[in-house]
Amino acid sequence: MKILVTGGAGYIGSHTVVELQEKGYEVIIVDNLSNSYQSVINNIHKITGTLPDFEEFDLCDRQKTLDFFSRHQDMDGVIHFAAYKAVGQSVEQPLKYYHNNLTSLMNILEGMKKNEVENIVFSSSCTVYGQPEKLPVAEDAPVQAAASPYGNTKQISEEIITDTAKANQNVKGILLRYFNPIGAHESILIGELPLGVPDNLVPFITQTAIGKREQLSVFGNDYNTPDGTAIRDYIHVVDLAKAHVVAVDRMINNQHKANPEVFNLGTGNGYSVLEVVKAFEKVADQPLKYKIVDRRPGDVEQVWADTSFANRELGWKARKDLEDMMRTAWNWEKALAEKNTEE
Ligand code: NAD
Ligand code: WQD
């Protein structure tokens, strides 16, 4: 069974390639390395013993994408990770985000249709729920107006896939709404590689602890939560990656019950910013320097997933706990620091 993984050199994509290969799938990665490195492909090889096929090009290039599909008509499915993902940057450069995230998706769907590649798994986000009225949030909760152009690309992409599937029943989709993926592979050969100053909490924590940042700014402690800081559902990236393998298996085996199907990928547990800091301090066995600052505009107060539908239907459950997430994130940061001093 052969799967195209777009964005497979990226953070979540690389972990998913490992899990796919370990389940016996043949993987082809397409990535333009706009937010990743060629070395990731070699590190996947080191983990699994199999070098995935890799083609470097921009999926916004329609001709290259269509050529790719006509050369690989035997593919059994596509997992589409490739996208830009920095929320703040999307507010400053909306066209860059709409162009990249939507054009690439439309080119892929066109290539799939023309070459009868049926199955697509898409990386969506819990950002589509905004601040839900009811927690934990289930898949049938209303989608709320997006708080950023990035979030809007996820909503529009879900609609594009839904409309394409409606018009064309042999295109089948699974939309996976990720909560907050963190952590790294146990081998610490792959992990998250944020460019510049990280927007996300966990890379900021690990970079502070290693001495790259002076201190963490905790965005707000006046939320209506037990300790006043905002709550999220953090999920280990390897658990997330495994869910993609299950989703692909489900489509290939024709077990899907709707087109598209939508699943939440989280643990079902919410942790506050300060709880994450404490978990980090425990596994790293060192205090973390932080200060409380104002809320970050656009942040929701609290969100965590109702995972019962995904657990039941996919037969998948996140297994790793917050300490596993923080331990692997910290080991990854230390490995990166060691590598930098060697170079
Ligand atoms: P990432 O930036 O590490 O990986 C994305 C990969 O896609 C990169 O390797 C990049 O080079 C590639 N890429 C981007 N545009 C491309 C194009 N036009 N053509 C070819 N390659 C291209 O990001 P990630 O964290 O692994 O996220 C993967 C997906 O999951 C994205 O769609 C993202 O929006 C979504 N997502 C991520 C999170 C998160 O917190 N990381 C949460 C929810 C959803
Ligand atoms: C988590 C919590 C912050 C940094 C974003 C996207 C979402 C998805 C995941 C891609 C929040 C607080 C953070 C810091 C802090 N990405 N925080 N100090 O905002 O839940 O989600 O990433 O699809 O779409 O919006 O994740 O890691 O940025 O923040 O206090 O320096 O940590 O306020 O409560 P977020 P995050």
Q: What is the pLDDT along the chain (343 residues), one digit of tens a residue?
A: 999 999 999 999 999 999 999 999 999 999 999 999 999 999 999 999 999 999 999 999 999 999 999 999 999 999 999 999 999 999 999 999 999 999 999 999 999 999 999 999 999 999 999 999 999 999 999 999 999 999 999 999 999 999 999 999 889 999 999 999 999 999 999 999 998 999 999 999 999 999 999 999 999 999 999 999 999 999 999 999 999 999 999 999 999 999 999 999 999 999 999 999 999 999 999 999 999 999 999 999 999 999 999 999 999 999 999 999 999 999 999 999 998 877 6
Calculate how far, in angstroms, residue 36's C-alpha sits from the geometric centre of ligand 1.
9
**Amino acid symbol at 239:** D
Q: Which atom of ligand 2 is nearest to the CA of 147?
A: 25
User: Which strand (E) or helix (H) includes residue 17?
Assistant: helix 11-22
Report helix, strand or coil for 97: helix
Given ligand 1 and candidates 55, 123, 180, 190, which is best to mutate, with the most ligand atoms within 8 Å of its CB?
Answer: 123
The CA distance from 324 to 326, in Å, is 6
Concerning whether 234 is annotated as a catalytic residue, the answer is: no
Decide whether any atom of ligand 2 lies within 6 Å of the 199 Cβ: yes
How many Å lie between the centroid of ligand 1 and the Cα of residue 4? Answer: 14
The atom number, within ligand 1, closest to the CA of 104 reads: 18
Instruction: Confirm if 19 and 241 have CB atoms less than 8 A apart.
Output: yes
CA–CA separation, 253 and 247 (whole Å): 10
